[in-house]
Structure 1
Amino acid sequence: MERYSPGTAMDIVHMAAKLGDLMDEHYRNTLALSTIIELLIDKGLLTREEVEHKAEELNQFMSHPSYPSV
């Protein structure tokens, strides 16, 4: 039976750096999407209600897989 080895201190530093990079990337992606949505609303191409309705629709789709689980 193998024992869990937490890795070296340097492994932990690298993992923390990768997590920080992912957080930065997530923030930039979220900001870009929010900006695009706000511009579409400002230009009258979408309403906030349409965006909210579609988000809820997609959330329901993702929350309930259409395939049977075993």
Structure 2
Amino acid sequence: MTRKAASALDHLNLVAKLADLKEDHYRILLSLSAMTELLIDKGILTREELELKTAALDTELEDLIVASLHPMG
């Protein structure tokens, strides 16, 4: 197999893996959405609680990322 053919095959394999990841991501997101709706429908949590927790986790994660990129700052 030529180097160019091997590179094309590697590229094709990478695209196939990406497609699999997108399918997995979709399934996970769909399941999470269904669970969230059920929790809200059953009165276990409210949309407001979910939004507040999401915002808090997003801020926390962003702070961790910034701290890891600038450890001395």
TM-score, normalising length: structure 2? 0.80
Q: In structure 1, how many angstroms separate the alpha carbons of the residues matched to 2:24 and 2:12?
A: 18
CA deviation digits over 1:14-35, x for unaligned, max 9?
0000000000001101111111
TM-score, normalising length: structure 1? 0.83
Following superposition, which runs of at least 4 residues in structure 1 exceed 6 angstroms of deviation? Answer: none
Aligned length, in residue pairs: 65
* 1:59 paired residue number: 58
Give 1:9 deviation, angstroms.
Answer: 1.2
Structure 2 unaligned residues grouped into runs of 5+: none
Given the alignment of the two structures, is residue 12 of structure 1 paired with residue 14 of structure 2, yes or no? no
- Identity in percent: 43
CA deviation digits over 1:9-68, x for unaligned, max 9?
111110000000000001101111111000000011100000000000000100002676
Q: In structure 2, how many angstroms separate the alpha carbons of the residues matched to 1:56 and 1:8?
A: 42
* 1:69 paired residue number: 71
Q: CA RMSD in A?
A: 1.9
Q: In structure 2, how many angstroms separate the alpha carbons of the residues matched to 1:45 and 1:69?
A: 39
Greater mean alpha carbon deviation, residues 41-50 or residues 7-16: 7-16
Q: In structure 2, how many angstroms separate the alpha carbons of the residues matched to 1:8 and 1:44?
A: 53
* 1:35 paired residue number: 34
- 1:36 aligned partner, one-letter code: M
